[in-house]
A = this chain, B = another copy of it.
Amino acid sequence: MRQIRVVQWGLGAMGSGMARLIAAKSGLQLVGGIDSRPDYVGQDLGTVLGIDPLGVTVTDDPSSVLDKEQVDCVVIATTSWIAEQIDDLRTILRAGINCVSIAEEMASPEAQSPELARELDELAKAGGVSIIGTGVNPGLSMDLLVVALTAGCHEVTSIEASRVNDLSPYGPTVMRTQGVGLSEEEFRRGVEDGSVDGHIGFPESARMISDALGLGVDRIEQRREPIISTVRRETPHVVVEPGMVAGCKQTLLGYRGDEVVLTLVHPQQVLPELEGQGTGDYITIEGTPRIQMQITPEYAGGTATKGIAVNCVPRIVEASPGLKSMLDIPVPAALMGDSAYARRV
């Protein structure tokens, strides 16, 4: 079996975890790493990752490694936003190389950037390659699983999905963007000025679900509300006193005309169990049949995003050219090295 040769672009917390996973999979070969941190550039990629040396050095010059004769796929983990990633995506596709991105907005670029979506689709087709955005959310827990659960339905009248998670494993950036530790007033001001941006990806999940089912969502509303703690909550990165904000409860309502047909609810906070709130993913499909699913505790976020990005690599390498979503490719499986997917490529 020929190994799939992968370059990891972005070696932050997520990217370095993905790179280690790529290096560990027998069906995949980690052939390059791109990052601009001065202390990484020129170092052996394995050394940077804390594993055995790999014999390739980290570079800050993408053009030096993006050779389609040497690379089958780039996995990119640099930002949540298409606008910040689009130039790098163009570079990858123009080099004729497949791409998996964990930028949340890339789960369905059509949702908020239809012109960029069209451009990416055209660039990918011109290069004979494919590109996809994935992650645990968007990409799995609040869209792909929702659609998969409707597979046996005769009709669907409305859908509600909620994901209750615990932010305590995360660092200062996540605390800040979710408003953890702020006062209620600071939180509301942060939502207004954009410094508290909460969960990125609801418009994308809504678009994926509505398009797949023909649910007819023609308008969405999003809300970001503070979760006010009644108890003291402490993590290595933040202390939340009673009365302060423990996290951000984000809600999306998807309307068809005046009717709400899709509700997505994502309260993200530190240590919800201190107030008796368990974590989990919950999906209810109102239709024929009615379906109620729960995954408890929640599908572990950071771990799963790394996993699904790497598990998508063989899928996107074998996909037909163009811009894909998680609903356009066969469902990825945990890639155990010698799976049928890997064998087929």
A268: Cβ under 8 A from any B Cβ: no
Cβ of A288: which chain B residues have Cβ within 8 Å of it?
Answer: 303, 307
CA distance A331 to B140 in the complex (A): 12
* Interface window among A115-123, A220-228, A336-344: A336-344
Within 8 Å by CB of A156, from B151, B212, B213, B334, lies B334
Whether B211 contacts A339 by the Cβ 8 Å rule is yes
Whether A334 contacts B155 by the Cβ 8 Å rule is yes
Within 8 Å by CB of A304, from B289, B303, B328, lies B289
Whether B293 contacts A151 by the Cβ 8 Å rule is no
The B-contacting residues of A in range 314-333, CB under 8 angstroms, are 327-333
Known: A212-B340, A304-B289, A339-B214. A331 touches B154 (CB 8 A): no
Whether A212 contacts B339 by the Cβ 8 Å rule is yes
Whether A334 contacts B299 by the Cβ 8 Å rule is no
Within 8 Å by CB of A292, from B211, B296, B331, lies B296
Whether B147 contacts A151 by the Cβ 8 Å rule is no
A260: Cβ under 8 A from any B Cβ: no
A163: Cβ under 8 A from any B Cβ: no
CA distance A337 to B155 in the complex (A): 10
Cβ of A51: which chain B residues have Cβ within 8 Å of it?
Answer: none
Whether A292 contacts B295 by the Cβ 8 Å rule is yes
Closest B residue by C-beta to A288: B303
CA distance A214 to B125 in the complex (A): 31
Whether B214 contacts A287 by the Cβ 8 Å rule is no
CA distance A338 to B218 in the complex (A): 14
Whether B144 contacts A334 by the Cβ 8 Å rule is no
Cβ of A333: which chain B residues have Cβ within 8 Å of it?
Answer: 147, 150-151, 212-213, 327
A274: Cβ under 8 A from any B Cβ: no
Whether A153 contacts B293 by the Cβ 8 Å rule is no
Give 6 new A-B contacts, CB below 8 A, not counting A140-B151, A214-B335.
A145-B148, A213-B334, A213-B339, A292-B297, A293-B294, A328-B330
Residue numbers of A with Cβ under 8 A of B are 21, 136, 140, 144-145, 147-156, 211-216, 287-289, 291-297, 299-300, 303-308, 310-311, 327-342
